[in-house]
Chain A
Amino acid sequence: MKILVLVKRVPDTAASIRITGEGASIAQDVEWVMSPYDEMAVEEAVRIKERAGAEVVAVSLAPEGAVSHIRLALEMGADRAVHLVDSQPDRDAWSTAKALAEVVKEEAPDLVLAGRTAVDMDQSFVAPAVAALLGLPFLSSAVKLDLEDGKAVVRRETEGGHEVLEAPLPCVVTAQKGINEPRYPSLKSKIKAKKKKVDTRPAPEFEALVKLETLAYPPQRQAGRILGEGVEAVPELVRVLSEEVKII
């Protein structure tokens, strides 16, 4: 069994993001981490490997030198990695998906795992696009994944319930919060990861369809009014909800 995990680096969710230059790029001096859902995807792949045996390959399209998230995947238990070094200035989600799909095609895994979304662009496009480009079934937002009889069976939460979907392998599955708790690599696994191979090569370029024109800060919310302390404030809150907000 071979499992490919698609991983992306994003700014830490606690980082403040600053716009630089002409207004369409962000300051790069933030702390970069693996997107949280991708961590869950790596964890799931490694758990399958520990349970049933598998080769786990982490694949990332990232700028030159941007390897800390790839190293983390190896430290968590991936066996090797492919780093597509990206130097296309107008790289968009489409051209990312096409570049990653080439690797998936070449590696021909039994299963492709990725996070439900990357928390920077938050568009949930690349994983389903890779699936569709290669004609692989797509199972999104898994909170539980079972592999049996050549099939992937996924449980996911719905708006007020849950459902189970299945698809034949090979397929693409995205991880949702709840599927697992990603591990912190031990010192031993960190040392072991140093010997693991990262295949570094230029990312193929493809036409971009979507262009980021400008970035802007959202309007700052102003701190409002403290209506008071404890139950004493309740009559005023009710008056506000009824007269100003008009929901009562």
Chain B
Amino acid sequence: MKALIYVEQRDGKVRTATLEAAGAAAALGCDELHAVFVGDGLAADALAGAGVSKLFLVPPSDSYSPEYHAAAVAELARDGGYDIVFFAATQRGKEIAPLAAVGRRAAFLGDVLELAADGGGVKAKRSLYGGKLFGWFSAPAPLVVTTRPKMFAPASGEGEPAVEERPAPAAPEKRAVLIESHASAGGKVDLTEADIIVSGGRGMKDPANFAILEELAELLGGVVGASRAAVDAGWRPHSDQVGQTGKVVSPQVYFAVGISGAIQHLAGMSSSKVIVAVNKDPEAPIFKVADYGVVGDAMKVVPALSAEIRKKKGG
């Protein structure tokens, strides 16, 4: 099968989630792996070692537009006869991929967890009903697939791709365009791509107490998440919410601090590799899914944990 990978870049580097999408394509047995980048400033060697043999560069539109990106991908997918187009299921990927699927008249499988070849098409595993079930779906080529971050091993391979310039696509005149963009300082890693997440819930009692979670997260190279109760209280932004109506995350380690473990919260984090819970209530449902639990007051346990880690790191 011939596959095309939509490349996303961040801070001058190809995003890990993109490399994982390429890894998914390679693991599926796609023998021809090409990539497309819409925009300026992708270094020629950015995809070195990613197993991609050709990189198409499409000039950017004046301002980001999902329809423009989708048109660029759909045109190339059609012209090049690609069987399957991969996007990472990031915010941008999730927005552009369905539009590209319609443009290509291709079957769509979103946010897939596993893939297997199936005749001329694929079988894909997806998470349904807030993680309460898995579904296996089959679909024929041509296809558009988005891969959930952290579910596939990043691609590896030899050499750099050959670069080929493409003209601007025939994008619709009427389209959505970006008019303002405000990035937070420091470029926080997105929850869905983080290896370590330290989440706080209503048990944190006060927004100021999240400082102890920030401290622990920083020590471990992780980021802070939250339960809906903490978000609804206005303590944390909506983008920090983990769960069925928030983000679905699969980090190496998920710390649930002062979080009871409601079913809608579990929906967002139960595919974490390791779950550590800190809760003062020994009966809290979170302990039913946690690999390691500490029963106690978060305000005491978390600072002690940070101090101990710092001591250990200090040698």
Q: Which residues of B from 208 to 257 have beta carbons under 8 Å from A?
A: 220, 237-239, 241, 244-246, 252-253
Stretch of B26-34, B43-51, B104-112, B156-164 at the chain-chain interface? B104-112
Most buried by B among A14, A119, A123: A123
Chain B: minimal CB distance from A121 (Å) = 6
Chain A: minimal CB distance from B33 (Å) = 23
Pairwise interchain contact B99-A138, C-beta atoms closer than 8 A:
yes
**Number of A interface residues in the complex (CB < 8 A):** 80
A188 to B13, CA, bound (A): 57
Pairwise interchain contact A94-B128, C-beta atoms closer than 8 A:
no
Pairwise interchain contact B133-A161, C-beta atoms closer than 8 A:
no
Residue of B with least CB distance to A97: B102
A113 to B39, CA, bound (A): 30
Q: Which of chain A's residues have a CB closer than 8 A to the CB of B182? A: 161-163
A44 to B209, CA, bound (A): 34
Instruction: State whether the Cβ of A52 lies closer than 8 Å to any Cβ in chain B.
Output: no
Instruction: State whether the Cβ of A230 lies closer than 8 Å to any Cβ in chain B.
Output: yes
| Residues of B contacting A: mostly | mixed
Q: Which of B174, B179, B245 contacts A37 (CB 8 A)?
A: B245
Q: Which of chain B's residues have a CB closer than 8 A to the CB of A162? A: 182
Residue of A with least CB distance to B90: A159
Stretch of B53-61, B76-84, B199-207, B283-291 at the chain-chain interface? B283-291
Instruction: State whether the Cβ of B126 lies closer than 8 Å to any Cβ in chain A.
Output: yes
Q: Which residues of A from 191 to 248 have beta carbons under 8 Å from B?
A: 209-218, 221, 223-231, 233-235, 237-238, 240-242, 245, 247-248
Pairwise interchain contact B183-A158, C-beta atoms closer than 8 A:
yes
A112 to B136, CA, bound (A): 31
Instruction: State whether the Cβ of A87 lies closer than 8 Å to any Cβ in chain B.
Output: no
Instruction: State whether the Cβ of A141 lies closer than 8 Å to any Cβ in chain B.
Output: yes
- Also in contact, A123 and B288, with CB within 8 A (given A137-B176, A163-B182, A237-B294): no
Interface, chain A (partner B; CB < 8 A): 11, 13-14, 16-17, 19, 26, 36-37, 93-94, 97, 119-125, 128-129, 131-133, 135-141, 143, 153, 157-168, 171, 176-178, 209-218, 221, 223-231, 233-235, 237-238, 240-242, 245, 247-248
Interface, chain B (partner A; CB < 8 A): 66-67, 70, 90-91, 94-95, 98-99, 101-103, 106-111, 123, 126-140, 172, 174-184, 186-188, 190, 196, 220, 237-239, 241, 244-246, 252-253, 263-264, 267, 270-271, 274-276, 282, 287-297, 300-301, 304-305, 308-309, 312-313
